[in-house]
Amino acid sequence: MSWAGIDVGGRRKGFHGAAVDGTKVIKGPHRLGGVDEVMRWLFAIEPEVVALDSPKTCARRGERSRECERELMKAICGIRWTHEALAGMKLEGLPSRRINQDDRDAIAAALTARLHSEGQTTNFGEIVVPAQMCVRCVPAGRCRSGTPSAVGAR
């Protein structure tokens, strides 16, 4: 069984995809040119769940971020995935080469897809994140979103 993550970019950046099975990166991260290439890539690996790293909605006019993004940033120690943060999620098969933020986001989205299918995520509005992130930064395994953390819940 596998789970996939897609970091959605514009024409210039393209899309980035990664897939995990359990705790190992099995595909990617790869830069994928457009929607057709993304679809071919996904059909080839047949993931159980696909997570997209992309906003469903834009920030309101005159604002730089959405309310759910601001809540997430307050509750969790930042919203950018680093190589160390991915390694902290106990992922095997991370590329030894330096990878960019889009590649890290694709891997993190694939991991989030897996955790979501296991009931180990929490929501900040329309944003879904691994509950483990909340355990690290919020005492007693409870996110400020008010959602009990599945990981580390006592």
8 Å CB contact between 93 and 28: no
Q: Give start and end residues of each alpha helix (H) in 55-145.
A: 67-75, 83-88, 101-117, 131-137
3: three-class secondary structure by DSSP: strand
Q: Could you tell me the residue range of the domain that residue 117 belongs to? A: 3-55+65-141
Q: Give the Cα separation of 74 and 61 in Å (integer).
A: 22
Number of domains in the chain: 1
User: What are 104-148's pLDDT values in tens digits?
Assistant: 989 989 998 999 999 988 877 777 878 776 544 444 444 444 443
> Residue 151 above 50 pLDDT?
no
Residue 39 forms part of a structural domain: yes
Radius of gyration of the chain (CA): 15
Residue 60 forms part of a structural domain: no
Residue 149 forms part of a structural domain: no
Token pair recorded at residue 19: 């897939």
Question: Which pTM was predicted?
Answer: 0.77
pLDDT at residue 37, rounded to an integer: 93
Residue 148 forms part of a structural domain: no
Residue 146 forms part of a structural domain: no
> Residue 50 above 60 pLDDT?
yes
In the predicted model, what is the mean pLDDT of the chain?
78
For every residue of 4-67, DSSP letters joined together read: EEEE---TTT-EEEEEEETTEEEEEEEEE-SHHHHHHHHHHH--S-EEEES-SSPPPTT-SS-H
Residue 154 forms part of a structural domain: no
Residue 94 forms part of a structural domain: yes
Residue 150 forms part of a structural domain: no
